[in-house]
Amino acid sequence: MKEGYFLVTKKEYAKMVQKHSGKSPIVKDTARAFLVGGIICTVGQVLRNFYFSQGFNKELTGTATSITLIFIAATLTALGVFDRIAKYAGAGTLVPITGFSNAVASPAMEFKSEGLVPGSASKIFEVAGPVIVYGTISSVIAGILYMIFVR
């Protein structure tokens, strides 16, 4: 055995982790996530109502609302605000469209100093890429199952 290294059992390690970990404020975290997620969804609904009142049809209203939410989330990510909101709200910011926008924009912002192509362009889908791949595969499987069992 090398000097400076020591072995601990799983039980001892679990005790050490327990000792140094604080209690998780699950009720407070859940309330924050619910509140912020609800605010994001409310903003989406307000945008939808606004676009609908401007004469957009149902399909165009949904598209305009989605684009606006993506733009807002990406802008807040670029300004460093989204990360502060996420730190406060936790999973509440994972409302699919804003969370996905943040997942795409964050790596692009983080690696922009490496250049446009080797930095931002190549890293932009580092987090979102697997979501796109597995989301696509899941939808294909769901479609096949639908065709087999429902039709």
124 falls within a domain: yes
Neighbours of 129 (CB within 10 A): 14
In a domain, 1, yes or no: no
Query: 125 phi and psi, to 5 degrees?
Result: -105, 20
Q: Which of 43-57, 76-90, 101-115 has the lowest mean pLDDT?
A: 101-115
Q: What is the pLDDT of residue 1?
A: 47
DSSP at 21: S
| Position 14 in a domain | no
The domain in which residue 133 lies consists of: 25-149
As a whole number, mean pLDDT of residues 30-55 equals 96
Residue 3: inside a domain, yes or no? Answer: no
